[in-house]
Structure 1
């Protein structure tokens, strides 16, 4: 059980959630989008939101700016979060401009707002759970898409509720966060997605 709880943090890593949101959108949208465009978007998102942050992490570790992938202190979080803001801006301007796929554009606007909020919290020495921020943001986006496209994703919603609970349990088990940090993280990820619904639904 100990190894399972620890592995959950790796399996549902925050870096994966933006890509999962994009994959979920392309798998559920009733709109016709040519396969080459879908593949190009997925490739670009993978490079920018997963590969590039990993390379930047190793650079920061080499420069002794961070000490572990867990970013255990608020001071360690500041620079990676700031760099992630620039990466998301790059996605918004170069990969997912508003006039192409508005749902994904505002999904990433929500991610940007959550990241900025997490950065501000780190500045004031509060360590909100990035795992919960990412997972709850994806969860709300999936629910919003189901309403928007009028599709039944009850199974996905049930699975996501279980996953959110598992992530919270995992983070508590490894003593990475307190209950308050998990709750704040949940709402930091959830609320921007809810607020932005007015712009694309």
Structure 2
């Protein structure tokens, strides 16, 4: 159970959320990015840029903090250890959002999601000064928030069609996708509790912050 919980925590690491959502957007509707499918050079380059900016570089920065002794563990069980990583990650996310905002080929909806993720990150940083909060829950709450926004404000996305390179199309109800993500969010939360990384209130607060971050971002971007 502990091994399974650690695997889930790694797969759904909060820094991977932006990359996962970009891949989903490109699979569902690559045309809003100006490409015909996700495998085109622009699509792959965009995924690489987002992955490097939102996961790889912040993770390298955290590893450097670990090697210099500023962080005692990569899991950072002490909320005080999370302060500097939150700041470093926030800087990279702000830089990424600014680049997405200036890029006219990036749909506003994904830019809104990137801003919502950044807002949630800084809200989590502020709350972390007083009480520990689950970054994993913040990430999952952000995905839930974006799916709810798609269903509420963009009726064309009530049915999501995922196109593959061989020409086949998989249609999924957005309601079914939301239920699937809710189950995943519960699985991630259960894994964090199983690892004794958080208390239930840390998870509830994280889900709420991730969700609210998307709502705030939509007001600014869309």
In the superposition, the TM-score normalised over structure 1's length comes to 0.90
Q: For the structure 1 residues 169 and 184, does the alpha-carbon distance in structure 2 shift closer, same or farther, using more than 3 Å as the test?
A: same
Pick from 188, 192, 197: which aligns with 1:171?
192
In the superposition, the TM-score normalised over structure 2's length comes to 0.82
Residue 37 of structure 1, CA deviation: 2.7
1:83 corresponding residue in structure 2:
88
2:214 corresponding residue in structure 1:
193
Report the Cα distance in structure 2 between the residues aligned to 1:31 and 1:119, rounded to whole angstroms. 33
Shifted more, 21-30 versus 106-115: the winner is: 21-30
**1:54 and 2:75 correspond:** no
Specify every segment of 5 or more residues in structure 2 that has no aligned partner in the other structure, as ranges.
160-173
Structure number with higher strand proportion: 2
2:167 corresponding residue in structure 1:
none
Report the Cα distance in structure 1 between the residues aligned to 2:103 and 2:117, rounded to whole angstroms. 15
> 2:102 aligns to what SS in structure 1?
coil
Specify every segment of 5 or more residues in structure 1 that has no aligned partner in the other structure, as ranges.
none
**1:31 and 2:32 correspond:** yes
**1:118 and 2:114 correspond:** no
1:6 corresponding residue in structure 2:
6
- Give the paired residue count: 200
Q: For the structure 1 residues 55 and 32, does the alpha-carbon distance in structure 2 shift closer, same or farther, using more than 3 Å as the test?
A: closer
CA deviation profile, 1:29-78 (whole Å, cap 9, x unmatched):
36362233322211100111111012111110111111112111111101
Residue 98 of structure 1, CA deviation: 6.7
Report the Cα distance in structure 1 between the residues aligned to 2:208 and 2:141, rounded to whole angstroms. 8
